Structures are given as structure tokens and as C-alpha cells.
């Protein structure tokens, strides 16, 4: 997964200027798709467009070898700290699964 960095702030989304130094952000690097669950929620009351998925789990993942976090959907139950990996990219969403 590609991440963007400046002044030790890493993000999966590219910003134009760095909020610390004000320079244009040019550093890019690849980090593994794998990570650990940093936190999560189970959504029982979805917006209309995701009603067919409910209840579903959305988690914030901390990717390995970085301080980057990524918001993903996960099949099944998870706990904080669980090891997870990318399963598929569907309709613009990263869908993860627990590493078996």
C-alpha cells in the first residue's frame, strides 16, 4: 500500500502541503497491507446505502512498519490487537480478514 510522508506524518491519503513545514508533500513509499486492529466498531444502524451489509464491522488498522492507519471493513468479529490482512478491494473499500 502506498503511503505519503512529510515531517514524520504518514497517511494513506495524499495531502498537498505538509501541515508541519508547509512544503509540498513528495515522499512516497510502499508499506505492507498487513497490520493490527487498533480499534473497531460494529455498525448495527447503517446509512441507507450500506443497509444490506448490517451488522458489519469497521476497524482502524495500524499497518506494519509504519505509523499509518487505515479504515477498513472486516468480516467477522475482531478484538484490538488482532493481526489482519487485505482480503479484497470492493467498491472503493478495503476489506480485511483476520490472518489465519
Partner 1 sequence: MTVYIQSVGMTKFGKAENSTLKDLMLQAAHEALQKAPGMKIDAVYVGNFMGGSLANQEILGAIVANDLGLGYIPTAKLEGACASGGIALRQGVLGILSGEYENVLVVGAEKMKHASTADVTQVINSAMDRDTSEKHAGLTFPGFFGVLANRYFYETGASKEHLAMIALKNRENALNNPLAQFQKPTTLEEILQARHITSPLGLFDCSPTTDGAAAVVLTSKPTDIKVLASSQASGPTMMQDAIDLLSIPAIRISGEQAYAKAGVGPEDIDVVEIHDCFSMTEMLAIEELGFYPKREGWRAIAEGKTKVTGEKPVNTSGGLLSRGHPIGATGIAQIVQLVHQLRGTAPNQMAKQPRLALAQNLGGTGAYSVVHILERV
Please answer whether residues 61 and 73 qualify as being in contact, where contact means their C-beta atoms are separated by less than 8 angstroms. Answer: no
Binding site for partner 1 (CB under 8 A): 9, 11-13, 38-51, 53, 55-56, 58-60, 69-73, 80, 91-95
User: Which is closer to partner 1, CB of 39 or CB of 99?
Assistant: 39
CA distance 63 to 86: 11
User: Which is closer to partner 1, CB of 39 or CB of 65?
Assistant: 39
In a 3-state reduction of DSSP, which class is residue 86?
A: strand
CB of 31 to partner 1, least distance (A): 13
Amino acid at each position: 500500500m502506498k503511503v505519503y510522508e512529510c515531517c514524520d506524518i504518514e497517511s494513506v491519503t495524499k495531502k498537498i502541503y505538509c501541515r508541519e513545514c508547509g512544503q509540498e508533500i513528495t515522499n512516497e513509499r510502499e508499506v505492507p497491507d498487513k497490520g493490527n486492529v487498533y480499534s473497531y466498531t460494529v455498525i448495527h444502524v447503517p446509512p441507507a446505502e450500506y443497509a444490506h451489509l448490517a451488522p458489519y464491522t469497521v476497524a482502524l488498522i495500524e499497518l506494519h512498519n509504519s505509523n499509518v492507519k487505515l479504515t477498513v471493513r472486516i468480516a467477522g468479529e475482531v478484538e484490538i490487537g488482532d493481526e489482519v490482512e487485505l482480503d479484497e478491494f470492493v467498491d472503493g473499500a478495503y476489506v480485511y480478514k483476520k490472518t489465519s
